[in-house]
Amino acid sequence: MSNEELDQLREKLDQVNLEILDLINKRAELVQQIGQVKDKQGTNRFDPVRERAMLDLITEHNSGPFENSTLEALFKEIFKASLELQEDDHRKALLVSRKKKPEDTIIEINGEQFGDGQKHFIMGPCAVESYEQVSQVADAVKKQGLKLLRGGAFKPRTSPYDFQGLGLEGLQILKRVADEYDLAVVSEIVNPADIEKAIDYIDVIQIGARNMQNFELLKAAGEVNKPVLLKRGLSATIAEFINAAEYIISRGNGDIILCERGIRTYEKATRNTLDITSVPILKQETHLPVMVDVTHSTGRRDLLLPAAKAALAIGADGVMAEVHPDPAVALSDSAQQMDIPTFNTFMEELKKQ
């Protein structure tokens, strides 16, 4: 075969490649249109029966030289790429995504701008136990120049026999103390029906790890005009976490702070495993502020400071931790709450960073 002949064949091959390219992209456009129709109908994108029918049609018309199995494998790749294209379109459409809104969401709470690139802190006792207890912590929080006070009034506990929190009375205590010290209140709500009465007492609605996929609660939080601190579920993937936030924003409330609080793994040295790389992933994928709860992720007082340093170093917008005047007698999380001197050292160290 002369070189000229080879060149001609190669030229033809290039031509065919371009035709295939053109056809593949035409096909992709059709698939995208089908995806939009399916979205409107609310039907599943992946349809194995339809895929089988398409493959059968292709092999029926196959006159070689490729074998049917080779063609099936090739087309299967094209189908897969097209399905992924539909999923990309879907991800693009998420309201919490960077693709939808490239700039950071900044949430103003009591003069703090969450998401502005500065460090923010949410500190307070695990559970509200008494006015005295909360006000001692609030005093320490205020002296550190902080603006947000956390405290649990409704406590979803692993055992039904553990302390369940003071409920509305707990919120009233928090509100009273917060007003005295000019702090904003972050507190967990567990029941959609409680949101309406709770918003008179709290400034940030916390949705806890155990409720991350309580969709009715997410929807209810999406319908009020209060920032939401959403914690990652203990067995939730990052994609599930992002979708939980999407439930809130889809109802109109975009003031959402994501909070990594550790996930369940086989490791027993810590209470949960702090998934530290979820922070930059969440920052890349969404435009929302991201915090790290060092208390529940580690479950160990000796790890609070190094975990908090790591969180800030990797790009978290803030740190959450629990503080109790006398952790030894705390009604919940007694092993990992900081006493006030430890909290002061913790804060001094983090401010240095």
Residue with Cβ nearer Mn ion (96 or 174): 174
* Cα angle, residue 241 at apex, residues 240 and 247 outer, rounded to 5°: 90
Residue with Cβ nearer Mn ion (317 or 333): 333
Instruction: Tell me the C-alpha distance between 4 and 6, whole Å.
Output: 5
Q: Judged by CB under 5 A, does residue 188 bind Mn ion?
A: no
Burial 99-120 (b: 16+ CB within 10 A, else e): eebeebbebebeebebbeeeeb
Of 122, 126, 305, 331, the residue at the interface with Mn ion (CB under 5 A) is 126
**Window contacting Mn ion (CB under 5 A); options: 42-50, 89-97, 100-108, 327-335:** 327-335
Q: Judged by CB under 5 A, does residue 259 bind Mn ion?
A: no
Residue with Cβ nearer Mn ion (100 or 300): 300
Nearest to 327 by CA among 136, 155, 121: 136
Burial of 279 (C-beta count, 10 Å sphere; 0-12/13-18/19+): buried
Site string (71-110) toward Mn ion, x via CB under 5 A: ----------------------------------------
Beta bridge partners of 260: 292
**Window contacting Mn ion (CB under 5 A); options: 84-92, 107-115, 226-234, 332-340:** 332-340
Q: Judged by CB under 5 A, does residue 294 bind Mn ion?
A: no
**Contact (CB, 8 A) for 88 and 285:** no
Q: Judged by CB under 5 A, does residue 228 bind Mn ion?
A: no
Smallest separation (angstroms) from Mn ion to the CB of 346 = 16
Smallest separation (angstroms) from Mn ion to the CB of 264 = 16
Instruction: Tell me the C-alpha distance between 84 and 80, whole Å.
Output: 6
Q: Judged by CB under 5 A, does residue 333 bind Mn ion?
A: yes
Nearest to 114 by CA among 146, 92, 143, 91: 146
Give residues with Cβ within 8 angstroms of 331, minimum separation 6: 126, 127, 129, 163
Smallest separation (angstroms) from Mn ion to the CB of 267 = 20
Phi-psi region of 299 (alpha: psi -120 to 50; beta: other; left: phi over 0): left
**Window contacting Mn ion (CB under 5 A); options: 67-75, 169-177, 180-188, 330-338:** 330-338
Smallest separation (angstroms) from Mn ion to the CB of 34 = 48
Smallest separation (angstroms) from Mn ion to the CB of 293 = 9
Residue with Cβ nearer Mn ion (126 or 291): 126
**Window contacting Mn ion (CB under 5 A); options: 25-33, 90-98, 134-142, 329-337:** 329-337
Instruction: Tell me the C-alpha distance between 220 and 293, whole Å.
Output: 24
By CB under 5 A, name the binding residues for Mn ion: 126, 333
